[in-house]
Amino acid sequence: MPSAYNPERKKQSISKKKIFTILAIGLVLGGLLALLIRSFIWEPVEISTATMEPSLKMGDSAFLQKWQNPKDLPLGEIVLAKRESGYLLARILGRPGDRIRLENKTLFRNGEVIPPELYPIQHTDKRPALPAEFTPRDSMAEIRVPQGHFFLLADNRDEAMDSRFLGTIPMDQIVGRFSP
Give the integer Cα–Cα distance in Å for 108 and 87. 25
pTM of the model: 0.77
Query: Residues 24, 87: one domain?
Result: no
Query: Residues 31, 62: one domain?
Result: no
Query: Residues 61, 20: one domain?
Result: no
Query: Residues 31, 109: one domain?
Result: no
Query: Residues 90, 174: one domain?
Result: yes
Give the integer Cα–Cα distance in Å for 107 and 109. 7
Q: What is the pLDDT of residue 137?
A: 84
Q: Is residue 71 part of a domain?
A: yes
Q: Is residue 53 part of a domain?
A: yes
* 8 A C-beta contact, residue 40 and residue 67: yes
Q: Is residue 6 part of a domain?
A: no
The yes-or-no verdict on residue 1 having pLDDT over 60 is no
pLDDT tens per residue across span 10-65? 666 778 888 888 888 888 888 888 787 777 677 888 888 888 888 888 888 888 88
Query: Residues 31, 51: one domain?
Result: no
> Closest Cα to residue 142, out of 114, 102, 89?
102
Q: Which helix (H) or strand (E) holds 144?
A: strand 140-144
Q: Strand 61-65 and strand 174-178: pairing? A: antiparallel
Give the integer Cα–Cα distance in Å for 58 and 56. 7
Give the integer Cα–Cα distance in Å for 67 and 176. 7
Query: Residues 94, 155: one domain?
Result: yes
Query: Residues 33, 84: one domain?
Result: no
Q: Is 41 exposed, middle or buried (0-12, 13-18, 19+ CB in 10 A)?
A: middle
Query: Residues 29, 74: one domain?
Result: no
The yes-or-no verdict on residue 69 having pLDDT over 60 is yes
| Residue range of the domain that includes 20 | 14-42
Q: Is residue 8 part of a domain?
A: no
pLDDT tens per residue across span 73-108? 999 999 999 988 889 999 999 999 999 999 988 999
Residue, of 143 and 138, whose pLDDT is higher: 143
Q: What is the pLDDT of residue 8?
A: 62
Give the integer Cα–Cα distance in Å for 156 and 153. 9
Q: Is 153 exposed, middle or buried (0-12, 13-18, 19+ CB in 10 A)?
A: buried
**3-state DSSP assignment of residue 169:** strand
Q: Is residue 95 part of a domain?
A: yes
Query: Residues 24, 85: one domain?
Result: no
Query: Residues 88, 121: one domain?
Result: yes
The yes-or-no verdict on residue 116 having pLDDT over 80 is no
**Count of structural domains, the chain:** 2
